[in-house]
Every structure is written in C-alpha cells, then in structure tokens.
Structure 1
Amino acid sequence: MGVFDRTRGAGGDVMTFLQLIDCKTSRFDEMNRLMDTWVERTKGKRTASHSVIGKDRSDASHIVEIVEFPSYEEAVRNSNLPETDSVFREMVALCDEMPTFTDLDVVRDEQLYAGTVRRFLLEVATEGELPPLNDVMAENYHDHDPANEQDAIGLDAMRREIEMWRRGFDFAFTVEDQLAEGDRVCTRWSWKGDHKGDFMGILATGKQVTMTGTTVFRCGEDGKIVEGWWQYDRLGLLAQLGALDELES
C-alpha cells in the first residue's frame, strides 16, 4: 500500500498520517473477510493504529477505508510489511476497478466530546459565580460518585454538589490523560485546591491540598454530558485536611 509525505507541526513534532483507500467492489463480504485476514496476519507487526471502513449509502459497491498511523515512520514500516503487500494484491483482485489512494496530513483532529469535558472541568473551577453549565451538561444529567450515599440526578442537583466543593475550596483541574471512544470520554485528572471554607464539617484550614482521580463521562447526541462516573482519592484529601487525625488518636 502507499506511504505518505512527511509533515511536521509548528512545534516540530511528527504529525499523524491518514490514508484514504477508495474502491468499488461487488464482493464486499470477501473484501471484509480479507481485512480480517490482514489484521490476523499482521498481529504484532502492524503499525496502523485505527481503521474505519465505510459503505456509500447511494452505491453499495463504493467502499472507502481510512487507515490511521501515528507517524510517517510508522506508515513506512507498515507499508514495507510483506503481509501488507500480499493483502493489497488480493484486495486489488476483489475490486471492480483499480482502487485510488489519497495520503492525508492531519492538520486538525478535534475530539468534540473530549473538548466538552475539558470545558466542563474549566467552568466548574472558574472564579466568581458558577456558570449555568447548561452549555456542557444536560438537564437530566446523572452523576455517580461512590462518596455520596445517593446519586445526583438532574443539573440542579449537580450544581449543588459543585457549589459544596466551591464553598470549601478555590481549586483547579489539570487534565493528565484523556481517551475518547464513541460517546464516552475517560479523563485522568489532578486537582489542586486551597481550603478556604467549610467542607464536610471541616472548617477552613488554609492548607493547599491535592488529589488525583479518573472520571468517565457519557455524552448525548447534542454533545452535552448526560452521565458521569467518578473515582478519586477522597480519603487522601481528608487526611491532608487533618480530618483523620482525631480518628487515629
């Protein structure tokens, strides 16, 4: 299969590469099985990170495959695999006409749901009055937090939960890692706060505290967050605030 021209971003980093394979075939089932064969033959060798195959709704014989590579070098390695060359020849034999290849430099790759989650984490930590949040969160939002006896259901309930944290701390989130798949976004975050007010009956200590956690959010068709599952070190936070000292004494 073809390889790509080298392109680097403004910072000098190697950019992601995509190859678009456009073909026409009346033997789609055989083509689909061939792709399974390629995956099996190249196990442990292939460098492609993502593959999507689409069928034209107006012409069932028109098939488009998009293959993603993390870099130009990885694309070259994949192209040089003997298994890739063999499968390519078999693919051509299944096509009604010679397939075409388009090599694409990725100049913008925006995970829209992930962007919504980042905006939510920024808005809840904003100074001043809490924003309405209805631009990022659905009115029927459902929150799962193992630290709470009951789930917060509805945007108003979630606002009250957030306000409890805001009364206790001036804080900010830092996104450490983020993965998006389908309607789910998983975010590993770190949190830093200044304890300025009452939190769970603990009066302000003035201490600067930190915490880490992971949250999985589900987004709806309109792009807003509709459900969330939190896991974080609440016990470690309480220890930093000195809340466990009395229990241990």
Structure 2
Amino acid sequence: MTFVQLIDCRTSRFDEMDRLMDTWVEQTRGKRTATHAVVGKDRSDASHFVEIVEFPSYEEAMRNSNLPETDKIFQELVALCDELPTFTDLDVVRDDQLYAGTARRFFEAIGAPGELPPLDGLVAEEYHDHDPANEQDTVGMDAMRREIGMWRGGFDFAFSLDDQIEQGDRVCNRWTWSGTHKGDFMGIPATGKRVSMTGTTVFRCREDGKIAEAWWQYDRLGLMEQLGALDALEQ
C-alpha cells in the first residue's frame, strides 16, 4: 500500500532548507526509497511550509528514515525550523490520476463499436495532433474526427493500455492496438486479416481535463507488412 508522510514546519530560512534538501537528494542517490516529493508554501503565512513525501509502502519509508544520511540531514533541518516540525503518517486509500482516466476513456471511445461517440467531454475544440505518418499536423476537433474515421472505416479495433505515466499536465500511454481489416485503408482493400501493433501516445491535458495535444509513435510499417502491402515492394 502506498504510504505518504506529511512534514509540517515553520521556518524563516527556507532557502537554506531548500539547499539542504538538495544535499540530501545527492547524498542518498541510489539508496533512498522516496518516489515523489512536493513542498508547498502557505499563501497566508510565508513561514509555513508543508512537504508531502510518497513511498511505495510504510516499510520502504522506514528504510529511508534509517539511512544515516537521512538522520544527519534531519538534525540540520530541525535546526533551520522556527519550531519542531510535525509528522503525519498516511496510508493512501484513494489515488485518482484524473488525466490518466481521461486518456483511458479516449482510447475506449475511439475504439467503441457503432457510431463514433461524441468526444466533446474528452477533447478540446482546438486539439492539436502530431503524427509522423501525416505530412501535416491534425488541428481541430473536426479534423481529428476525420482522422479517427479513416481508421474506423478500415478496421474494427480496440486499444489495450499496457502502461500509463502521469506527470503534470502530461500522460504517457504505452498501448497495444488490435484490429480486423474490414475496409479500405490507405488504398488497401479489406483483407479480413487480424492485425496488431504497439505504440506510445503522450497527451497534454488542459486544466479542465480535456486533451489539448497529442504526440503519436507506432509501428505503422509493421502494420502495413501484416496487411501484405510490402509484398509488392519485395518482388
């Protein structure tokens, strides 16, 4: 179970504390078990700071605390505080990665059978798509729907998400695409073949959660080979 520790402190020497934390990061490189750390300053009290540190588990947090470097830095950190810091230990019981959820729903929607569902709740009107297979970027909701329509006209397909990593306003998605070639695609008549390919898409999301931009990388050459489009070139 993911574990989070909240460190609440007051200090008028934050710049020194910030440099001290940089020292701890350098000294514990390769040994520390913390996976994510955020420091926030109270907008109503400039001397009040809260640090949120995430660990894979409580046990890993304790292992991190027992590092000799951590103990040394902690003593120096306390000396920089105006009063003793307080610690709150939390087991994470809910962790919603909202942009990652939007990405999952997008992949599900574009592969859904029947008519392409409305995407207004998922995609921004000014959506900007970067696909190295296209000479020009796809810009705007209507253009994006036409691009998706080309794929849906050629295949019955679905995405399987293998990995998602969310950081800031970006979501990186590693996926496997599988489909049946049912109609014309890039001038290739329907073959009825079952095909698949792997790829990665990075989405940039707006503050309202909608996808505003995307960068695609996928094995299009491998797909064309499965469809037999490269046979003529090899003869």
What TM-score results when the alignment is normalised by the length of structure 1?
0.92
Corresponding residue for 2:56? 70
Q: Deviations over 1:182-241 (max 9, x none)?
A: 111111100000111111111111110000001111111211111111110111101101
Seq. identity, %: 77
Corresponding residue for 1:168? 154
Q: Deviations over 1:10-39 (max 9, x none)?
A: xxxxx1110000011111111111111211
Corresponding residue for 1:5? none
Corresponding residue for 1:12? none
Corresponding residue for 2:33? 47
3-state SS, counterpart of residue 143 of structure 1: strand
Corresponding residue for 2:67? 81
Corresponding residue for 1:237? 223
Corresponding residue for 1:9? none
Report deviation, 1:248.
1.3
Report deviation, 1:73.
2.3
Match of 2:23 among 20, 37, 45: 37
Counting matched residue pairs gives 235
Match of 2:181 among 195, 200, 215: 195
For 1:152 and 1:43, how far apart are their aligned partners in 2? 42
Corresponding residue for 1:120? 106
For 1:36 and 1:246, how far apart are their aligned partners in 2? 59
The residue identity in structure 2 corresponding to 1:233 is D
Corresponding residue for 1:219? 205
Report deviation, 1:101.
0.5
Report deviation, 1:72.
2.2
The answer to whether residue 142 in structure 2 is matched with residue 156 in structure 1 is yes
For 1:93 and 1:187, how far apart are their aligned partners in 2? 44
The residue identity in structure 1 corresponding to 2:188 is I
For 2:83 and 2:57, how far apart are their aligned partners in 1? 30
Corresponding residue for 1:206? 192
3-state SS, counterpart of residue 46 of structure 1: coil
The answer to whether residue 96 in structure 2 is matched with residue 110 in structure 1 is yes
The residue identity in structure 2 corresponding to 1:209 is V
Once superposed, what is the RMSD of the aligned Cα atoms? 0.9
For 2:12 and 2:133, how far apart are their aligned partners in 1? 56
The residue identity in structure 2 corresponding to 1:159 is R
For 1:40 and 1:210, how far apart are their aligned partners in 2? 44
